[in-house]
Amino acid sequence: MKILFFSDNYPPETNAAATRVHERAAYWVKWGHQVTVITCVPNFPHGRVFDGYQNKWRKEEIIDGVRVIRVKTYIAANRAVLRRTLDFISYMFTGFLAGVRIGRPDVVVSTSPQFFAAVAAWALSHFRRIPYVFELGDLWPASISAVGAMRPNFGLRLLELLELKMYRDSVAVVALTHAFKDNLVRRSISGDKVHVVINGVDLWRYGPRDPDSDLVSELGTGDKFVIGYVGTHGMAHALKNVLKAAQRLKDHNNIHFLFVGAGAERDMLIEYAKDNDLGNVSFLPSQPKDRMPQVWSVCNVALVHLKDSPAFKEVIPSKIFEAMGMGLPILMAAPEGEATKIISKENVGVCVAPENPDALADAAKVLALDAQQTKKYASASHKAASQYSREAQAQNMIDVLKAVTQSDADADAHVKSRPR
């Protein structure tokens, strides 16, 4: 099968969408499928082109057998809403044009975020009469409204109508959570076309290991109980709450918070920690994907943190599965929803109310003091990881793509067989 995938992000970028799309695509290539990904030059999240790349109109490379076509875009850091929107829209146009020029695929797929990648794929599917599959990783534009990046207005309503149009026109929607499927069904999208394929982890990459001695030395955390947040430092994550919890724990010298990643609020967080003399907090920049196991290895607990908004009841942060792969207990501060259900069901950690620094600080103290219970959470976490294998989920998604392309082929054959 020939698969054309639209994704705004792709390795060497390391955010959740880039990782998910690439790891699944690599399995599909291994299984004999041809996969082409149309994406941008790597620049996320700082809006700076990665070393070794140039923002050209078209550049091709092969990554793990996947054909990657990079197109020229207006590049902006993951901060200002208007500039980021221009970035997204430019990709929509140049990505569409690149899709017109390549050989005919059997199916075109897009992932969200971001929304305009889906628009490009949807438009191309109409233009070339190719089945379109929408992989739903984020309820956009609802999520940008939830974090306050865009106020409800006529423009937002138009985007919501276009979103619904793309769901209806797709031959299938692959949702990353059951809550996303429920959301679409409530909005009159047929449940029969919505398939749930939860995010996961490449188990060959992650696994319990001794702390990386060089990184421990760099951070000075050899005798500390480290609670690690690894991921985007954005508006959706409300990470200032974590620093407020750290303030409440300044007298607990054994507890240390580690932030690893980048995002719109990172500079603010560093400044806040400095202004409040938070010696129990460290920051590391974004790390290459192959270094993530070493980063996780210095953590005793993985922190998952989301803004207190109904929109985030429906998401499952991918760092949950990396933490499981590493055999780490999970401390989650998020609205009660699908992600918290996983933590409770698998008994892999503790959930507290979002944006409540007292509750977060208290939970951190309990995990640090109760070594026996924390060890039980760690064991359960590693055991649960096998249920969320990236390979198994790649198989689930390719089964959906096979089914829709076969249905399309059968429909074409039926039309051609009609007497004239």
317 and 409, same structural domain?
A: no
Could you give the number of structural domains in the chain?
Answer: 2
Q: Are 137 and 16 in contact (CB under 8 A)?
A: yes
Alpha helices by DSSP H, listed for 14-141, are: 16-30, 81-101, 115-128
- Domain with residue 169: its CATH number is 3.40.50.2000
Q: Strand order of the sheet with strand 225-230? A: 281-284, 255-260, 225-230, 301-305, 330-333, 349-352
**Of 52, 63, 56, the residue nearest 22 (C-alpha):** 63
pLDDT tens across 77-91, in order? 766 677 888 898 999
- The residue range of the domain holding 239 is 213-387
173 and 37, same structural domain?
A: yes
328 and 361, same structural domain?
A: yes
Q: Strand order of the sheet with strand 58-63? A: 58-63, 66-71, 34-40, 2-6, 107-112, 132-136, 172-175, 194-196
pLDDT greater at residue 108 or residue 199: 108
232 and 194, same structural domain?
A: no
397 and 376, same structural domain?
A: no
Distance in angstroms between the alpha carbons of the first and the last residue of the chain: 31
| DSSP E strand stretches across 234-300 | 255-260, 281-284
219 and 275, same structural domain?
A: yes
pLDDT tens across 299-320, in order? 999 999 999 988 888 889 999 9
44 and 61, same structural domain?
A: yes
365 and 398, same structural domain?
A: no
320 and 219, same structural domain?
A: yes
Q: How sure is the predictor about 30, in pLDDT bands with cuts at 50, 70 and 90?
A: very high
Evaluated on CA atoms 267, 270, 276, 277, the torsion sign reads: negative
Average pLDDT over residues 353-368: 97
Residue 208, in any domain of the structure: no
Residue 205, in any domain of the structure: no
Residue 340, in any domain of the structure: yes
Residue 206, in any domain of the structure: no
Could you tell me the two tokens for 208? 């319990």
223 and 79, same structural domain?
A: no
**Of 130, 133, 134, the residue nearest 105 (C-alpha):** 130
pLDDT tens across 338-349, in order? 999 999 999 999
Average pLDDT over residues 224-228: 97
Query: Which amino acid is it at 383?
Result: K
Neighbours of 153 (CB within 10 A): 9
Residue 234, in any domain of the structure: yes
Q: Is the pLDDT of residue 62 over 80?
A: yes
Q: Are 207 and 201 in contact (CB under 8 A)?
A: no
Q: How sure is the predictor about 143, in pLDDT bands with cuts at 50, 70 and 90?
A: low
- pLDDT for residue 114: 80
Give residues with Cβ within 8 angstroms of 277, minimum separation 6. Answer: none
Q: Is the pLDDT of residue 366 over 90?
A: yes
Residue 54, in any domain of the structure: yes
- pLDDT for residue 148: 56
Average pLDDT over residues 4-17: 94
Classify residue 227 as exposed, middle or buried by CB count within 10 Å of its CB (0-12, 13-18, 19+): buried
Q: Is the pLDDT of residue 21 over 80?
A: yes
405 and 378, same structural domain?
A: no
170 and 54, same structural domain?
A: yes
- How far apart (Å, rounded) are the C-alpha atoms in residues 114 and 232? 15
pLDDT greater at residue 144 or residue 279: 279
Residue 207, in any domain of the structure: no
From the CA atom positions of the chain, what is the Rg in Å?
A: 22
Residue 405, in any domain of the structure: yes
